[in-house]
Structure 1
Amino acid sequence: MNSAPRDVNTSSPTCPQDPAAPVWIKRGTAQYWRVSMALFLAGFATFSLLYCVQPLLPELAQTFAVSPAQSALALSVSTACLAASIVLAGALSEGLGRRKLMFISMALAALCNLVASFLPQWHALLAARALEGILLGGVPAVAMAYLSEEIDPKGLGFAMGLYVGGTALGGMLGRIGMSAMTEFWGWRHAMAALSVLDLLAAVGFVWLLPNSRNFIRKSGLGARYHLQAWGRHLRHKGLPLLFLIAFGLMGVFVSIYNYAGFLLSAEPYNMSQLQISHIFYAYLFGMVASPVAGGLADRLGRGPVLVAGALLMAAGVVLTLFQPLAVIVVGIVLLTAGFFVAHSVASGWVGRLATQTKGHASSLYLWGYYMGSSVLGAGAGWFWSRWGWNGVGSVSLLVLALVIALALRVQWLAQQAAGAQTSRV
């Protein structure tokens, strides 16, 4: 194992490899498991750093004497900056290299989160979280490109699944671990401990990940090239609708989780931070639902499964409007499973509709995804402050109704395109 391997530029004259004949990493080999575990650590670190503040929102509101809506900015500023940087990071990696950019992003973001845990002022903490979001953009934008370049297509699905599993596990354990540590040590020590853990994950990532063998460092790709690529996708009839769907799905998902902590910590539940954190175990249902959704989409079509996922989310939101705690928990489980179903189908549909520059299309989808988390995640606080949980639930249902309408439209466009292609044949 190399302790500090470097990216290889296969376009270099010293490298005999033919770029037209990639050397794949085969499933079952030692290198395959190194790549899989490295990307698992990358997913874990990214999502635990990003969402570690979500269970802390009531604590932050109390510590800094801000409103619930203002406390949600600790997450929203990160996701908003991530949404912006993720679009640019993919382009930057074409010249800098995949592995190097991911490591730098992870390490600096972990250090930034560590600094944020000690900041005494609210606006300073928000600034640190904003910078953290910018830095984290270098991971999700590049990780899937690295996997698709290096892993044998026959084993790509499993490796990609481990990466996605790492993101889900990081999101879940980051929240639960933060709540548990906050209960005993306070939120500042909890945030610092998680930062150190993720810094170690970054070191493990760069130690495990093998040299890039199929990456070709590109030069001369100016702003015009990238703007034209993004413009083509935005002029597509179906892709912008999927970007809006990502905005709505993630916005509703984050809104419910953001303000569920305020709901359950108040009367009549009076739950502690540690008790509230157990709702994040609902992610386990989402991790199971995601691959199941992929199989159903292959058999039934993407449109019906995407609509079913959004309807499942809506059913979950409706259940949270009832007072019994058990019913609220079931509602959150349904919401989570429905979100993973819908998101997995929508993100896969982007790759099917984008016929070229797929990385640019994926970056636009992720932009919509994280902007939904930022805009709706914070905006729902306005409804919470005026109408309580009923306000949050009502705006969530309205957004999901729009998501379903957009999904039906994409399905209709796909059927029209398939029919036109058949008639030409």
Structure 2
Amino acid sequence: MILGAFIIYSSLYWVQPLIMLFSERFNQSPASASLVLSITTISLAFALLLAPFISNNLGRKNTMVLSLLLTSLFNMFSMAIDHFYWLLFMRFLIGVCISGFLASVITYLKEEVERERFGKVVGIYVAGTALGGVLARLISSLLVEHSDLNTVAVIIGGASLIASLLFWIMLPRSTNFMKRPYSLIHLKNGFIASFLDNKIRSIYASCFFTIGIYTSVLNYISYPLTEPPLSLNQTVIGILYLATLSGVVSSLIFGRLLDKFFAISLYRVALLIMATGAVLTTTNILWLVITGLIIFAFGIFASNTIASNWIANKAPSTHKTEANSVYSIFYYLGSSIIGWLSGYLFLFFGWSRFIFVVSGLLILMVFLLRKFGKQDLELRDN
């Protein structure tokens, strides 16, 4: 699970710390350059509408393996042609391929893992997503200091391809997967049932904004960091992304807590942690910025662990794959839409005011969850 998550999230996020370089190479604004990430998450979100259909017909493991192999190949060829729209097209295809893995992984775990260990394993999986995203950002930042963007894409794609083959060999086959009669009508009904279920619908809106804010901060933080008084180079900025490894710790901690107890206050605390960390990134003192990134990442991955467990346990029993896809759709639409549009907000307000706006939104969500938590967001079975 760590290996699969690592491949997916490294393939997705290796471009993020290099957005400023894509902007310079292709003569694009920050908002337009951020499309190298946003177009991937947009295509991923919409591809998730059909991904459960494929997962049910091919099987969980087969779908995940195919997803990883194709994602790796498209990464290798993403810079084969030196044109911005070719890059966007390849990133679009990468998003489509990733959807197969994300539509299958939580359902695979739910089918194969004992219930009392499920929360821990989900925590491990989410820790893998943090690890993949962080190391990809670091590696791409280090490589680009010594190689061009084309070479970076080939190296990351090639390494992912090797890791995908290992995943294929190492992952246990599905023993509890049962293929059921499944048509597009079943798919539509599953999506409707999952979307309207009042036990989980609030978590969709919550994840839309939380991941959108997280993506926005990481998309544009390189701009203030490269300007005076900090004036950091790309390698140092890439190393700073190691601060988000705190997400590995928070995923494991909250995964264990979820096996014992849960309260909506845990989710609200995670949002407050995010807001606190974001505010610290507005300072001109480097160690405070690093501390802010550590706290910010700790909060977002804690919330992701809670939300993933929530969906897996409270989704309709016959529509768990669809419910997980709906969650992922909101997750990646938030990442793409907010991550892209917030670039214009950043240009208009500047870094400090931009951060105070998104932090205010997180605090607003804390109060909204307090109001609606009892009716929509109670996780554990009575």
* TM-score, length basis structure 2: 0.93
1:306 corresponding residue in structure 2:
267
Shift of 1:417: 11
User: 1:86-142 deviations in whole A, cap 9, x for unaligned?
Assistant: 232122111122222212211111111111122211111111101110111111211
Query: Quick one: distance in 2 between partners of 1:227 and 1:402?
Result: 33
User: 1:196-237 deviations in whole A, cap 9, x for unaligned?
Assistant: 000111111222234433322233x22222222221222233
Trace 1:21-420 onto structure 2 (pairs within 5 A).
39-153=1-115, 155-219=117-181, 221-296=182-257, 301-356=262-317, 357-413=319-375
Question: Given the superposition, is the C-alpha separation of residues 300 and 160 from structure 1 closer, same or farther in structure 2, using an over 3 Å criterion?
Answer: closer
Question: Given the superposition, is the C-alpha separation of residues 93 and 66 from structure 1 closer, same or farther in structure 2, using an over 3 Å criterion?
Answer: same
Question: Given the superposition, is the C-alpha separation of residues 157 and 232 from structure 1 closer, same or farther in structure 2, using an over 3 Å criterion?
Answer: closer
Query: Quick one: distance in 1 between partners of 2:360 and 2:116?
Result: 41
**Helix, strand or coil at the partner of 1:185:** coil
Shift of 1:415: 8.5
Query: Quick one: distance in 1 between partners of 2:155 and 2:262?
Result: 44
Shift of 1:259: 0.5
Question: Given the superposition, is the C-alpha separation of residues 253 and 46 from structure 1 closer, same or farther in structure 2, using an over 3 Å criterion?
Answer: same
Contact 1:245–1:406, Cα closer than 8 Å, also in 2: no
Query: Quick one: distance in 1 between partners of 2:18 and 2:210?
Result: 23
Shift of 1:371: 0.9
**Structure 1: gaps (5+ residues):** 1-38
Query: Quick one: distance in 2 between partners of 1:161 and 1:353?
Result: 17
Residue 190 of structure 1 aligns with an amino acid whose one-letter code is V
Identical columns (%): 29
Contact 1:238–1:410, Cα closer than 8 Å, also in 2: no
Determine which structure has more spread, i.e. the larger CA radius of gyration: 1
Query: Quick one: distance in 2 between partners of 1:334 and 1:160?
Result: 21
Residue 382 of structure 1 aligns with an amino acid whose one-letter code is Y
Contact 2:310–2:379, Cα closer than 8 Å, also in 1: no
Contact 2:123–2:251, Cα closer than 8 Å, also in 1: no
* TM-score, length basis structure 1: 0.84
**Helix, strand or coil at the partner of 2:307:** helix
Shift of 1:315: 1.0
Contact 2:126–2:304, Cα closer than 8 Å, also in 1: no
**Structure 2: gaps (5+ residues):** none
How many pairs does the alignment contain?
381
Of 155-164 and 368-377, deviating more is: 155-164
1:3 corresponding residue in structure 2:
none
Query: Quick one: distance in 1 between partners of 2:19 and 2:321?
Result: 34
Residue 376 of structure 1 aligns with an amino acid whose one-letter code is I
Shift of 1:296: 4.7
Question: Given the superposition, is the C-alpha separation of residues 88 and 391 from structure 1 closer, same or farther in structure 2, using an over 3 Å criterion?
Answer: farther
Contact 1:383–1:391, Cα closer than 8 Å, also in 2: no
Query: Quick one: distance in 1 between partners of 2:313 and 2:291?
Result: 33
Shift of 1:158: 4.8
Of 401-410 and 335-344, deviating more is: 401-410
